[in-house]
Amino acid sequence: MTRLRLVVCCALAALGLWTVTLGAQAPLPTPESSLGFRVGADFKLATYEDSLAYFRKLDQASDRLQLVEVGRTSEGRAWYFALISSPENLANVEKYRQIAQRLAHPEGLTDEEARRLAREGKAFVHIDGGLHASEVAHAQHTIQLAYDLLASANDPRIRNILDNVIFMLWPSVNPDGQTLVAEWYRSNVGTPYEVAPMPWLYQKYVGHDNNRDAYMLNMIESRVLTRTWRQWEPQIIYVQHQSSPFPTRIWLPPFAEPIATQVPPLLSRTVNTIGMVIAQALEERGQVGATHMGSGFDAWYPGYIDYLPMLKNVAAFWTETALYRYATPHFYTIADFPRDKVELRSESLYSSPWKGGWWRLRDAVDYMLTASTAVLDYAARYKTELLYNRYQAGRDAMKKYAAEPPYAYFIPQAQRDPVAPVELLRRLAFNGVKVYQLTKAVTIGNQSYAGGTWVIPMNQEFAELARQVLEPQRYPDLREYPEGPPEQPYDAAGWTLPYQMDVRVIAASSPLGDDARGALKLLEGPAADWKADDTDRSPFDSAPGAGFDTDANAAGIVPAPAKAAGTGAALAVDAAQNNAFRAVNQAWRAGGAVQLDAKGRYVISGVAPATLTQWVEHLALRAEWVAAPAGSRVAKPRLALFRPWTASMDEGWTRWLLEMYGFDFTPIDNADVQSGALRDRFDVIILTDERARTITDGFQPGSVPPRYEGGIGDRGVRAIEEFVRKGGTLVCLNGSALFAIDALKLPVRNVVAGLTRQQFFANGSILEIIPDAAHPVMAGMPDRAPVFVFGSPAFTTAKEFEGTVLAKYRASGTPLLSGYLLGEKYLNNAAAAVDARYGDGHVVLIGFKPQWRGQPFGSFKVLFNAALFHGELAAKAAGTKGFWAPPQQPEPEKKQQ
């Protein structure tokens, strides 16, 4: 059969953002005919390539499905989603897209016009094959779902869906991971390691944290999704997951407490309703075991890409279907059940208890098919309400902040790191928040703002998103029972970006007058020009050679032009700026030399002044020309980053960050550490946030193929000990500090070890520390610095301790800035970071997460400085006493005989 392929011209196609092809009818191929097995068959997983090959066949065979290319993944795969709807809707898809756009951005619309558009428009619904690739069923279910909709197009229920919904079906939203996991599983099926975990991350850098990046947009995949949603403005976004609390078979919204404070109630109610609609559909099909409870899936943290759109007035949510492991079936008996579930008692929100038995991949696929179809059915029935409510929630946000504070956020250009506010504002703009700039100085209330100050006026439709990430969080004091321990947040309790990024943001408590409004100039966000292609660059930062001034992605939100003061051939760059480290790494590549001076500035020499001038401009550096280099020599470190086989997300984030800032480093694994002679090869070794046991013991023998089992073991510990003793620097982030204390018998103690959750609790919050900026590891840090803690240690030292306290907690009162802290007294006077001398070397213990998920721009420099802390710099630091005496361990109390 010959196929007529017709490129539909529309505004987007003209921009090259997407192409649509319409094919004439061919017989509809079944998934089995393409994959070679039935979707969800035992022991079988389709890769992304398998899935895409099938979707291409559907695209050719059906006039109800069109593939749309959206960009490339982190590993460079071409990435698509499918539009599925009636042929008439697809022929008019641009008209309907514009209606969805218009209703998502209500400015200038009346309620009557909105009602008319809602009646005229179609519901856009996003459902996908998941982003957590080790939860394997979702990316299989999308294959079957596409076929079912097309094969049953004449069934009245499906026809109603296709007539009223324009369905955005993504085979997967982590294509790289789908293929990695399927290939890993295939290599192990039939061996003793059939259900072994994959020893690397299923997203190039961040693995499971690919669902924690929604407002930072550090990963390409987050940006592709966000930009596509902004182009199509769906009213429902539904992402499938798999980890229902056992023995329930699927967890559905409503979410557990607490939910994000700024989420519009109308959207919360919509998601709650959809959860119930899915549950009812499952019962209708005899699919038992749905629950809405017992999961701890709260929706407090807005970093979930499948929840953040709520703050943009989209009904966004996820569900969690039960999983065993990969495509291997498993038989459960009541004996496997937790005690409170053995009676199989019908509960209000768990009405049909699952009784055990076989659970196969196909069962999970079938539950997901029911759930996805129920959501489409709901959207078809209520499409007018969904469209109008999107408008109404946006309209209400605009009204709310026209009448109550905060009326606006002001972000001055003068900041400790002049690039940090740009990084912050570009991210908000990419997400659709409108960012303006003052064309002249204005005064609001009794506060004056200079011309050039950035402004986020709050009478805009996505205002709640801005507020949710800019304001401090107060995590509610929820107890498991009265006087019991606090309930654990599912993720972070506080994330306030002005704290994390060290950006001064001022909330306006008085309305903006006409004068201020007249001075506002709208800036273009970076999303429109960004291309997720082979030459992907972050649209937020400025990498050398791709400076703000020349970068098309800059699109309006740029730092104030930079010019170095003074005269001389060397350039001194304040370490408060993250781009100082880009300049340092560039300098070494260009054959230059680097020193750290007494003012906490990296002084670059031996590079042509014209080149340095270019860096100043491109990196927007605050810098000063000086006559001659002064300070301690900083040699380019031979840097190693330890990578455990446990697929460490913190290692991945750190690897990503070091790459972003131009550090050269060598990844090392267990075997590299055990082979010894580390000092001959490296100056600095970084251990990211791992449990001590993960580093030493790794995977249990027998649980993974032999080359991935175990940790560094005793031999590795001895090799690391020798490395430090012979003058190396070991940098331990957060949890790995406890490894070093134990392995090297450091005279340092974790003061919060062994405390119960009723005594001390500080997970995922922002605390204030007092750094010693005179120490090279704290160069560029402010007098008081917010840092992010997550299961973090705090230190006290014994008498025999030699070294320096790098940062400490305040002597009294609470260091809490955002999130939740119980038991502040345990932190008072404790050290937050120490530099411990050991033999000829140093062990730098950082009791917080300086690079957490690529968010705390304010503390990246602690990691970067530590990576440079070796040689002459470290030798000099060892000779000086810091300005604090280390906090000493109290004498152990004498036991009474």
Q: Residues in the site for Zn ion, rule: CB under 5 A?
A: 132, 241
CA distances from 720 to 374, 652, 671, 678, 855 (A): 56, 21, 13, 7, 30
Q: Which residue has the tokens 């092809």?
A: 21
Of residues 132 and 849, the one with the C-beta less far from Zn ion: 132
Q: Helix crossing, 93-104 with 383-403: angle to 10°?
A: 30
For the chain, the residue count is: 897
Of residues 205 and 860, the one with the C-beta less far from Zn ion: 205
| 589/842 Cα distance (integer angstroms) | 26
User: Do residues 62 and 28 touch, judged by C-beta distance below 8 A?
Assistant: yes
Residue 243 Cβ vs Zn ion, minimum distance, rounded to whole Å: 6
Residue 483 Cβ vs Zn ion, minimum distance, rounded to whole Å: 33
The string over 554-587, giving b where at least 16 C-beta atoms fall within 10 Å of a residue's C-beta and e elsewhere, is bbbbbbeebebeeebbbbbbbbbbbbbbbbbbbb
Residue 251 Cβ vs Zn ion, minimum distance, rounded to whole Å: 11
Angle at 149 (CA atoms; ends 147, 153), nearest 5 degrees: 120
Of residues 135 and 464, the one with the C-beta less far from Zn ion: 135
- Three-state DSSP state, 274: helix
Provide the CB-side half-sphere exposure for 744 (13 A, CA).
30
Residue 213 Cβ vs Zn ion, minimum distance, rounded to whole Å: 14
Of residues 244 and 542, the one with the C-beta less far from Zn ion: 244
Residue 241 Cβ vs Zn ion, minimum distance, rounded to whole Å: 3
Of residues 242 and 352, the one with the C-beta less far from Zn ion: 242
Residue 252 Cβ vs Zn ion, minimum distance, rounded to whole Å: 14
Residue 132 Cβ vs Zn ion, minimum distance, rounded to whole Å: 3
Residue 318 Cβ vs Zn ion, minimum distance, rounded to whole Å: 7
The gap from C-alpha 641 to its chain's centroid, in whole angstroms, comes to: 21
Of residues 132 and 467, the one with the C-beta less far from Zn ion: 132
Residue 507 Cβ vs Zn ion, minimum distance, rounded to whole Å: 35
Angle at 105 (CA atoms; ends 101, 106), nearest 5 degrees: 120
Of residues 208 and 861, the one with the C-beta less far from Zn ion: 208
Residue 494 Cβ vs Zn ion, minimum distance, rounded to whole Å: 23
Sign, CA dihedral 506-511-515-519, equals positive
User: Do residues 858 and 501 touch, judged by C-beta distance below 8 A?
Assistant: yes
Token pair for residue 8?
């539909």
| 381/273 Cα distance (integer angstroms) | 13
Residue 816 Cβ vs Zn ion, minimum distance, rounded to whole Å: 30
Of residues 133 and 165, the one with the C-beta less far from Zn ion: 133
Of residues 242 and 750, the one with the C-beta less far from Zn ion: 242
- φ, ψ at 562 (rounded to 5°): -105, 140
Of residues 122 and 204, the one with the C-beta less far from Zn ion: 204
Of residues 492 and 778, the one with the C-beta less far from Zn ion: 492
Contacts 24+ apart (CB under 8 A), 538-543: 538/218, 538/660, 539/223, 539/426, 539/430, 540/217, 540/422, 540/423, 540/426, 540/427, 540/430, 541/419, 541/423, 541/660, 542/419, 542/579, 542/618, 542/619, 542/620, 543/582, 543/660, 543/662
Bridge partners of residue 522, in order along the sequence: 436
Q: Which of 643, 743, 730, 734 is nearest to 682 (CA)?
A: 730
Q: Which of 614, 622, 624 is nearest to 547 (CA)?
A: 614
Q: What does 523-534 look like in DSSP terms, one character per residue?
A: PPPSTTT---ST
Residue 294 Cβ vs Zn ion, minimum distance, rounded to whole Å: 17
Q: Which of 760, 779, 765, 740 is nearest to 828 (CA)?
A: 760
Q: Is 725 left (phi over 0), alpha (psi -120 to 50) or beta?
A: alpha
Of residues 102 and 132, the one with the C-beta less far from Zn ion: 132
